[in-house]
Each structure stands twice: as structure tokens, then as C-alpha cells.
């Protein structure tokens, strides 16, 4: 029908030729988007890896870590070189992903299983806000939104968004495997139990298994089982590996392989962590093979990302500064790849800054799900970046992390505006401004040299917090400088 319209337009008088040409161009642009909108909505697979750093994949230049399947995904899709997590630690990032809202708006700014000084510091300059310890059930989760579009959904792996009663099934998922309160597994090996962590003795919601079984492999088995059962209808698979979070455990053969590699490549330092990354890469490879076997690879979008930056104690995040728990680039810049055959051009690359919060509206747009009445999203759909980049509107990105992370113990907020990034630290109070275009490693603080820009960006943060309805931190009236952090961390402080 569209071709008939185009033909008729060209039969008009010569005087209307220019207008006709313009209209034709608009129609052709529309035609290019038809595969997204006219065909059946795609299956959606979201790999959300735990603690995987921006530099921890081959396509980002790593010579030590081996990730051929992830690299192939990147070469066949679009990779985002300036992608960010919504928070430098995991629970808030996952809450933002699941709701499409900033951590400030959803009121979920700290990771839920870290108590002690992370949430209730006795000697800090600030008192963190009393944020949510679970994802509120009234939030329209990604699974719940997709259910209204006819999708069946599975959460396989880490959840970390609340105690029992707030697990995946309570938030609209049809299947939950191994998702529960804790953010790390008791053990990566069957029977997934340990006596090391009395507060986390066993991986829950994971039945059966066999001797020698490795958790990342088992979760992949469960994911493929779900795909086999539901490949004849639209499905959403949230494959959220516990890897590469501690404890650092992996098959011995892989660890030995990287111990040998350390002898000739000193760009990294942890063979066990490298082995864990390879198990995640193998998972990606197996899922892609299953898509091809089921003949649904042409109608599936695959998304690969991480919940925060790499943990500095187990990986080198260079050229980025610091790591998980920090508002520096090493803590919040993450890998992000989207793969969608026939829609996304192979080998596409964009340096436009995006954030994990954007995945909610991206996925719901692809699924054809209409926005819920009254639902306010902070994320922006990324669809235009691979269909019509000229339609993208630049915007600022914001972070609010008013907690004392186990890694950094530096609460603060941040904004990225164009090539500039500003960090406002709350304890001790300070401001840092960086030009990321020339200083990706955040080594030259421009705050004093550029006071006007510093003030302007700082005000933007404060306005954003107010407009988001953020639960704000407050000054600690009992703060005494001489006693700040004079005591060892609380024994109650648990890894996230």
C-alpha cells in the first residue's frame, strides 16, 4: 500500500516535485522502522551480569580476559561506549532497571543486605536516608509491564530486591530460579551451601543439581529449559548471573589456564576472576546457540550489560578510575550491547551517554507495551539510536548515592552533562569536575578552574533531587572529626 502511495505521488505535477520528494523521504524512513513496529514483538533476553567492569571484556580492549561470544555479540549489534549503571552498587541499579525510574525517584539508593555502617554509620558526617529495603509491590515492574503485552517471563539468577514476599514471582515474573534476598551465592558449586556466611547458608529457589555442577552453568541450563518450553510465544528472559561477584570460585581447569596466562600478561591479576568471566561468556555462547537451534534468532533481541563497575579488589579497571562503590567512572561505567538481527546494523557503535534506567522503556517499546497511565519514567528508550539517531535528544545523567559503600565509604551525587562530569562528595565535603573527553581517568579536577560550570552543574543535581522527590540524607549532629572511621567496619556489614 505504501509503495502505491509513493508511485501516485510521483505522478503529480512537476510543480509539486520537491514536496513529493520530501514526503517520499519521510515515508521511506517510516518503512525502515516497520520491522520494529509491524511484525510480532521480539523475544527479549537480558543478560545482567554482576560486578562486570567496563574493561572486563575483549571488545573493550582486554587482552587478558577471553570473551569471544560477548565480543561477537558486540560485533553483530550496537555497543555503547559510554553506558552507565544507575548506581555504583547493585540493588539500586536493579531497582532502577526494573522500574525505569532513577534510584532517587524510586527511593531505593542503597543495597539491601548491607547494614551496619553502610546504612547506619555512627561516625560519619551524614546520616543516610531511610530508603527502601525492598522494591515496593506497587511499582510496575518490567515483568508486569511485559505481561500486559502478552509475554511470559523468567527471572533466572540474582534478584536482590527484597526479602521473601518481594521476590520475582511477587513482581510479575512467571518463573523464578535462584532469585532471593541475598546478592551473592553461598557457593558457586553444588550443593550451593556454605558455613562461611551464617546469614547466607544456601542459594534459595534452586532445586536439585549434581556433584561438580557450577552455578553459572546451571543457571544457563535453566534458561535454555525456559526457552525450549516457551519458544512458540513471546518471552522475556532475565538471565542475571551471580557471577562475577565474590566469592571468587570457578572450575579448576579454567583457573589453571589463567594462572599460566598471568605469567605472560600482567594487565590483570586474578586468575579466578578471569575464569568466572569465561563461564559467563560461555553462557552467552550457549544461549545464542539455543536461539539458532530453535530458529528464533531472527526474532529475538539480546541485551548484555552489568549492574555496576568492576570490584577493584579483583580486577583492574584501567583506564577508568576506582571501581564498584565509587561514583568515579570505574564504579558506574559498564558494558552495554544490543543485538537484534535485521534491525540493528552490525558493528554499530555510539558514544552517546546512556544509563541502565533506559532499558525499561527500550524493552517496553520493542514489545509494543503502552505506557501505564500516570507512570513517570526517568529512562529514555534507546530505540531511536539504532533506527533514527537524529531523533535522539541529548540529556543529563544523574546519580544519588548517599551511603557509605563497603568499598569507598564516600557518599555523594554526580551528574554527567555532555563531556563534563561533576561529583559532589558529602563526606568529606568536596566537589570534583572532569572533562571526560580528554580525561577519561578523572585525574584533573577542574572545579576551581571552571567555577561557573561547577556551580551550574551542582545546582542541576539539587534541582533533580528535588524534582525526583528523593529521600535526602541529613547532617549527623553527633559527628566528631577525630572519631570519624576510627573503628573497624561493623561485623554486620555484608557484601552486596
Residues serving a catalytic function are: 90, 160
Q: Rounded to an integer, what is the distance from CA 126 to the centroid of its chain?
A: 28
| 8 A C-beta contact, residue 92 and residue 108 | yes
Dihedral of the alpha carbons of 94, 100, 103, 107, in degrees to the nearest 10: -100
| 8 A C-beta contact, residue 426 and residue 126 | yes
Query: Grid coordinates in use for 450?
Result: 571552571
Residues 6 or more apart in contact with residue 334 via CB below 8 angstroms: 52, 53, 54, 83, 84, 85, 305, 306, 307, 308, 309, 356
Dihedral of the alpha carbons of 461, 411, 375, 158, in degrees to the nearest 10: 150
DSSP string, 280-319: HHHHHHHHHHHHHHTT-GGGEEEEEEESSPPPTTT---TT
Distances (CA, A) of 411 to 125, 183, 327, 426, 442: 10, 21, 9, 6, 18
Query: Grid coordinates in use for 371?
Result: 505506557
Across-strand partners of 177?
156
Residues 6 or more apart in contact with residue 433 via CB below 8 angstroms: 420, 421, 422, 445, 446, 447, 450, 453, 454, 457
- Burial of 228 from C-beta contacts in 10 A (0-12 / 13-18 / 19+): exposed
Alpha helices in 294-417 (DSSP H): 329-332, 359-367, 383-387
| 8 A C-beta contact, residue 231 and residue 296 | yes
Per the listing, cell 577508568 goes with 320
| 8 A C-beta contact, residue 278 and residue 254 | yes
Instruction: Give which of 83, 139, 153 is closest to 108, Cα–Cα.
Output: 139
CA distance linking residue 53 with residue 7, whole number of Å = 52
| 8 A C-beta contact, residue 294 and residue 368 | no
Amino acid at each position: 500500500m505504501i509503495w502505491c502511495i509513493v508511485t501516485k505521488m510521483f505522478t503529480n505535477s512537476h510543480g509539486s516535485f520537491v514536496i513529493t520528494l520530501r514526503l517520499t523521504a519521510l515515508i521511506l524512513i517510516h518503512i525502515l522502522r516497520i520491522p520494529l513496529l509491524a511484525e510480532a514483538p521480539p523475544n527479549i533476553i537480558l543478560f545482567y551480569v554482576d560486578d562486570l567492569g567496563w574493561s572486563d571484556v575483549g571488545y573493550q580492549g582486554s587482552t587478558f580476559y577471553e570473551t569471544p561470544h560477548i565480543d561477537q555479540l558486540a560485533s553483530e549489534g550496537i555497543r555503547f561506549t559510554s553506558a552507565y549503571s544507575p548506581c555504583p552498587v547493585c540493588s539500586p541499579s536493579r531497582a532502577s532497571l526494573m522500574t525505569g525510574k532513577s534510584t532517587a525517584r524510586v527511593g531505593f539508593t542503597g543495597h539491601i543486605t548491607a547494614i551496619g555502617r553502610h546504612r547506619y554509620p555512627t561516625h560519619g558526617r551524614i546520616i543516610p536516608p531511610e530508603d527502601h529495603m525492598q522494591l515496593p509491590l506497587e511499582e510496575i515492574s518490567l515483568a508486569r509491564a511485559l505481561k500486559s503485552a502478552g509475554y511470559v517471563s523468567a527471572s533466572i539468577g540474582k534478584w536482590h530486591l527484597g526479602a521473601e514476599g518481594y521476590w520475582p514471582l511477587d513482581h510479575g515474573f512467571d518463573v523464578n530460579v535462584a532469585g532471593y534476598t541475598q546478592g551473592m551465592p553461598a557457593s558457586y558449586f553444588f550443593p550451593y551451601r556454605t558455613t562461611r556466611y551464617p546469614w547466607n547458608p544456601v542459594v534459595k529457589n534452586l532445586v536439585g543439581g549434581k556433584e561438580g555442577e557450577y552455578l553459572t552453568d546451571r543457571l544457563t541450563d535453566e534458561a535454555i529449559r525456559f526457552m525450549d518450553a516457551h519458544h512458540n510465544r513471546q518471552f522475556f528472559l532475565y538471565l542475571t548471573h551471580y557471577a562475577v561477584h565474590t566469592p571468587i570460585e570457578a572450575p579448576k581447569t579454567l583457573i589453571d589456564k589463567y594462572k599460566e596466562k598471568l605469567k605472560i600478561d600482567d594487565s590483570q591479576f586474578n586468575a579466578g576472576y578471569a575464569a568466572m568471566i569465561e563461564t559467563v561468556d560461555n553462557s552467552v555462547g550457549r544461549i545464542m546457540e539455543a536461539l539458532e537451534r530453535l530458529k528464533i534468532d531472527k526474532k529475538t533481541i539480546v541485551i548484555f550489560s552489568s549492574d555496576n563497575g568492576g570490584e577493584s579488589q579483583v580486577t583492574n579497571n584501567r583506564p577508568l578510575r576506582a571501581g564498584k562503590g565509587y561514583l568515579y567512572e570505574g564504579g558506574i561505567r559498564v558494558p552495554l550491547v544490543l543485538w537484534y538481527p535485521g534491525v540493528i546494523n552490525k558493528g554499530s557503535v555510539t558514544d552517546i551517554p546512556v544509563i541502565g534506567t533506559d532499558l525499561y522503556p527500550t524493552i517496553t517499546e520493542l514489545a509494543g507495551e503502552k505506557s501505564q497511565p500516570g507512570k513517570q519514567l526517568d529512562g529514555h528508550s534507546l530505540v531511536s539510536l539504532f533506527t533514527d539517531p537524529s531523533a535522539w535528544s541529548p540529556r543529563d545523567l544523574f546519580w544519588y548515592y548517599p551511603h557509605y559503600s563497603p568499598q569507598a565509604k564516600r557518599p555523594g551525587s554526580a551528574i554527567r552533562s555532555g563531556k563534563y562530569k561533576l561529583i559532589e562528595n558529602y563526606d568529606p565535603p568536596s566537589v570534583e569536575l572532569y572533562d571526560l573527553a580528554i580525561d577519561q581517568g578523572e585525574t584533573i579536577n577542574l572545579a576551581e578552574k571552571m567555577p561557573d560550570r561547577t556551580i551550574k552543574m551542582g545546582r542541576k543535581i539539587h534541582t533533580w533531587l528535588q524534582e525526583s522527590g528523593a529521600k535526602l540524607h541529613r547532617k549527623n549532629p553527633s559527628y566528631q572529626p577525630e572519631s570519624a572511621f576510627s573503628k573497624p567496619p561493623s561485623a554486620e556489614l555484608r557484601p552486596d
